[in-house]
Amino acid sequence: MNERYIRQVPLLGETGQKILNDTTVFIAGAGGLGSPASMYLAAAGIGSIRICDLDVIELSNMNRQILHTEDRIGTSKAESAKKTLESLNPDCSVTALSEKIDETSVLRLIGDAEVIVDCMDNFSARFALNKAALDLGIPLMHGAVSGFTGQATLVVPGKTPCLSCMFQNANTTTKTPVIGAAAGVIGSIEAAEVIKHLTGTGSTLAGRLLLYDGAQNSMEVFTVKKSPRCPVCTTL
């Protein structure tokens, strides 16, 4: 047994650990959500991570984007993420993708990944990820954060509602203020959900929506249903 994972193997089993080591994950976004999500997935032993972010690091990112350091301001977030993640766990192979995620690029960027982790800050990109997950038949772990609040759900094609079912009327462009610790909570939940889904451990957020309010110290989980009028997944 690799000593690096000795504290989690009793929970996941050696078979579960091997699943993580053999899995490729696509992480969309290397910002406030992508930072904790990618770091905990790399630390857990995910074998390969494809992390995508078009942006460069700015000083205003420093309150929440813990993948990056101030001396890297002006450089690629994706490349910075690769440096941090491979330093955290040299056994994790990281591919940095400094490109925009949209309907024309998303399938190519996802590549051979078996899980998609949505760490984006806009629903335009999220809907592209959602459609790609359904087309490829692979799970999509969604997370979003605003202020002290956040949400998370796991989309499993053919089994659960998709993002279009739940958020048909979402604003596709608005960016909101964010408390870094709230992004940390939701990003960590995303990582935990991916680990649970891959290893068959515990109960996941598949078909359920988690709502977190850090200002009020509350967390609620609701069952969600497919929309019969969803333009994306009604045929699945």
Tell me the per-residue pLDDT of 192-225, one tens digit each, with 9 for 90 and over.
999 999 999 999 999 999 999 999 999 999 999 9
The band of 176, judged by pLDDT with boundaries at 50, 70 and 90, is: confident
For residue 90, what pLDDT is reported?
97
pLDDT above 90: residue 171:
no
The band of 172, judged by pLDDT with boundaries at 50, 70 and 90, is: low
The rounded percent of the chain whose pLDDT value lies above 90 is 90
Average model confidence (pLDDT) across the chain: 96
| pTM of structure | 0.96
CA-based radius of gyration for the chain: 17
Q: Which are the contacts of 166, defined by CB distance < 8 A and separation ≥ 6?
A: 153, 209, 224, 227
Give the integer Cα–Cα distance in Å for 112 and 196: 20
Give the dihedral sign, CA 202/226/209/195.
positive
pLDDT above 80: residue 173:
no
Q: Which are the contacts of 65, defined by CB distance < 8 A and separation ≥ 6?
A: 30, 31, 32, 34, 35, 57, 77
Give the integer Cα–Cα distance in Å for 69 and 62: 7
For residue 1, what pLDDT is reported?
67
pLDDT above 80: residue 112:
yes
Contact between 96 and 82 (Cβ < 8 Å): yes
Residue 12: CB atoms within 10 Å: 21
Give the integer Cα–Cα distance in Å for 191 and 79: 20
Q: Which are the contacts of 90, defined by CB distance < 8 A and separation ≥ 6?
A: none
Residue 120: CB atoms within 10 Å: 23
Read off the pLDDT of each residue in 86-90 and give the average, rounded to a whole number: 98
Read off the pLDDT of each residue in 65-86 and give the average, rounded to a whole number: 98
The band of 14, judged by pLDDT with boundaries at 50, 70 and 90, is: very high
The structural domains of the chain, ordered by start, are 3-223 (3.40.50.720)
Read off the pLDDT of each residue in 139-145 and give the average, rounded to a whole number: 98
Q: Which are the contacts of 20, defined by CB distance < 8 A and separation ≥ 6?
A: 12, 44, 45, 46, 47, 195, 198, 199
